[in-house]
Structure 1
């Protein structure tokens, strides 16, 4: 039962995320990404806890994949934010 419950939450989160991003104007995408970096940072901490804990091999594999993807998201988001902020600096 928990697999069905968690799968339902995952599908709803994917659908909600897609609808949210689709409705955001282009001028707000970069500030929205900056806010999403904080959430990805929290995801990264949670994935690190699972990757280093006493869990099954499958859990550790998924945790390591989560660490990799969350790190890419956080670093990429901060690079984009830094580039956006550099546009407002004087020459």
Structure 2
């Protein structure tokens, strides 16, 4: 994948995640956050695979950013 494709997927995922979390009712917020912690672990694995498979430095930096942001989500959910 080229850099623009990876960046587009990253930006779209950010927008979708934002709208999903903020449009849910308060009663479902806690189960949703538990599921997002599980999804974040999958994102970390995917980001590591994508960063390892790409040859460009930009894609590796985006993979690092994805790992850091997903880690913050996981660790923040358990705090």
TM-score by length of 1: 0.61
Whether 2:50 is the aligned partner of 1:50: answer yes
Q: In the TM superposition, what whole-angstrom CA distance separates every residue of 1:19-53 from its partner, at most 9, and x where no partner exists? A: 43333221221111001111111111011112333
Are 1:40 and 2:40 an aligned pair?
A: yes
Counterpart of 1:24 in structure 2 is 24
RMSD: 3.0
**Which deviates further from its counterpart, 68-77 or 44-53?**
44-53
Aligned match of 1:83: none
Runs of 5+ unmatched residues, structure 1: 81-91
Unaligned segments of structure 2, at least 5 residues: none
SS of 1:52 mapped into structure 2: helix
TM-score (norm: length of structure 2):
0.69
Candidates 10, 13, 25, aligned match of 2:12: 10
Bigger Rg, structure 1 or 2 = 1
- If asked which structure has higher relative contact order (CA below 8 Å, sep 6+), I would say 2
Matched residue pairs, number? 75
Once the 2 structures are TM-superposed, how far is the Cα of residue 62 of structure 1 from its aligned partner?
A: 0.7
